[in-house]
Chain A
Amino acid sequence: MSIGFRAVQWNRAKIIYDVILLAGVWLFLAVFYGMGKWLDPPKDRLAEIDFNIRAFGSCAFVMLTIILCIGPLARLNPRFLPLLYNRRHFGVLTFFVALAHAWFMVQWFMAAGDVGYIVKELTDWPNYGKFIGFPFKTLGLAALLVLFVMAATSHDFWLAFLSPRVWKALHMALYVAYGLVVMHVALGMMQEERTVLVPLMLISGLGLVTILHLIAGARERATDRGSVLSRDGWIAVGPPLSIPDKGARIVAAPRGERIAVFRDGSQIGALTNLCAHQNGPLGEGRIIDGCVTCPWHGYQYRLADGCAPPPFSEKLVTYPVRLNPDGIVEVDPRPLPPGTAAAITCALG
């Protein structure tokens, strides 16, 4: 199967998201410049460039912190889901802000008349054996490289080409980039500046991101433990009315992938919890216009057979569903081929 390239599909939500994003960056920089120039106005050209380095570097750090908070926040509270919708544009903009930070660094050496010093600093091999004195710019460059790979592969073309599984695994490198950025600042600016602001910024950013991920991870662990299977290997979901109308209950077999059991009136069907687009959590979505709709980017599938409505061609794995003699909905965790009709209709009440 070949993968075709389609330019970014703009819609109103994406435009609003990007406008807010750009306004946020502008506001951060405006406040940074305003405060900085008021408290300690740069005295010469070099100080002015140095100020640009700090402004864009701090902005990139804050943006990266926010990006890493979006995932766990959306898992903990659906009200944060709109932030996740266009997170890729957030990531691409962060790369450009970080690139501007790096460019001002080069400009600083150009203004100082010693561009070659950057290479000298990066290739000062004995310093790589030190902790304090480690060439921290290397850490920043490595983080920038990771951000570049993320930004370059953020388009849906790469998502389809690499498959959602590989793409998602690749984009987990963002965590490594964040670690590199924290150490870049800790071994660089924090060593030069005695102000408490730099350690405070790093502690609060790293602490917030870590705590949110640990809380979200602990919550997810409970679902991943899986449900008890019946004698013939089916999972009990509950009475039909325990499944919210136009919503789902998520179950999993021990060591198995999650299954989203949806109810649309009297129709009950089970689909994989993984959206075909980005492996988003389908079971946290709703049935809109008769289709199961992914909460991340709105990809839609028919409940009856897991197929996306025409003209789309995505197909999801479905699971057999039955109503046992006690009136309990059960699902067979052995998947059917993608696009197989498996939903049932049952009397409610």
Chain B
Amino acid sequence: MSGVAGLFGGEPLLSVRDLEVQFRTDAGSTTALRGVSLDVHPGETVAVVGESGSGKSTTAAAVLGLLAANGAVTGGEILFDGQDVVRLSPAEMSRLRGAQIGLVPQDPMSNLNPVRRVGAQIVEALEDNGVARGADAQARTVELLEEAGLPDAARRAQQYPHEFSGGMRQRALIAMGLSARPRLLVADEPTSALDVTVQRTILDGLTSLTARLGVAVLLITHDLGLAAERADTVVVMYRGEVVEKGPAREILQNPQHEYTRRLIAAAPSLASRRIAIAKETGDVEVAAQDLLAPSLGEGVTTAPVDAPAVADAGARPDAIVEVEHVTKVFKLRGRGLFSRSTDFTAVDDVSFTVPRGRTVALVGESGSGKSTVARMMLGLTEPTSGTIRFDGVDVGSGRDRAAEVTFRRRVQPIFQDPYASLDPLFTIYRTIEEPLRAHRIGTPAERRDRVHALMEDVALPTELLRRYPGELSGGQRQRVAIARALALEPELVVCDEAVSALDVVVQAQILHLLADLQSRLGLSYLFISHDLAVVRQIADVVCVMEKGRIVEQGTADAVFDEPQTEYTRTLLDAIPGRTLELGV
């Protein structure tokens, strides 16, 4: 865990001084890093925190000498063990990498060579770094994999990456990064692509291993909570510059820079029921751009959210969605020519309701069946048994064409990846207008007014309407996706990991926007997420799913404050920085 910076006196192992990095693009060069300075002492863990585009990953790449081809160090120096690595030849740098400076990359799915056995990929690293050869290297590889916490390492070493789970791959990458016993390990978002519970065990393993080996760690992360929990020193970066650095706890409890405060406010792992409480207290005048909006300070508590009390409920049922004993069984095709297919129960006897105007969250790890529930809710997949009623009408029963169209209007999805869910060849205007046209709503002039109003709703400038998705940031795209979903004035919005692909600060903005829209338009949300911290900010009711079943459901406060099952507790414990105190 964290220590005191003073512990690591003496000469720094890595000293970045006034680093400037530029990238050449078609539009001229852009400066990605400006005057970045930081020190890492032997054995110390330094976390670099910031959103994407802050320059944290560029800093890591510069230290490794692995900047993209159009990038170059244009000023300052990177002293590793007193030697300026910027001035090293490619061959000298290649010798330094692996042997002296290791890397644990971000995405375990894409960072292993898919066509070579996992073991062989470590063996070749050992050989090229001159650590061991042949049979020695093989034996060492198994030791390294064991050390990184991979069970049954000898057999696993003979397998290919596609036969590994995400967590196993990340262990292999950790073993690889540490294989030549480097003195500095650059860990670039080492767990952000993993499930929360896996994240925690991997991080624990990494922390204890590097501590035991005395390896200094440069931890790159977007999550301030994680940084504070794992690092001795935290460096906060914003738009290519270091805005604040110091001992982890000090930064967290007494942030000096405005951006650090925003980051703390936005960090999902540190957040409490900010939005939900704001909603309850009627303090929902949340300007979507305002990151610090309804800042509550400590000690604010309100009554837990309970029975929905929405004004317009009238004679209609209180619940907009009723899911009763829904089960979904998939047939898995057998491997061979004649082998029989086997059944896989993705969703197992799931029941819950979504109260009108409220948010119900389904949380769980990958494979828990939450996305299958979302697909059934959207009418994209038929349940094997059980019923889903939308506003009292069975979703699964054979609807005619007209009923189908009406249903589609009233239920809209927002998906995870704003990069993939917008047609790259459509302008923003066409993207948002499309559902209106598809449902033949309004005249062209009316549709134009509606699109402009929607842009206002999601706090986007109308100038963007002529642009293409490729020209927008991730947050802007997700706002477009929300505008598109709202175009048909739906009653239920199914958000399938709608903020998971976004940076923390942007995530907070989108969550505020969703909360704001809900209170203004009376929307109901089914919010699917693996991220409990995010769920806590937005959900009224939480259903925890594990292996296709709902293992626990209740109000957000009940689930978070008094979890009833072991599984929920594990999930909650896995949120990094949960026990840390805030300084906002």
Q: Tell me if chain B binds chain A.
A: no
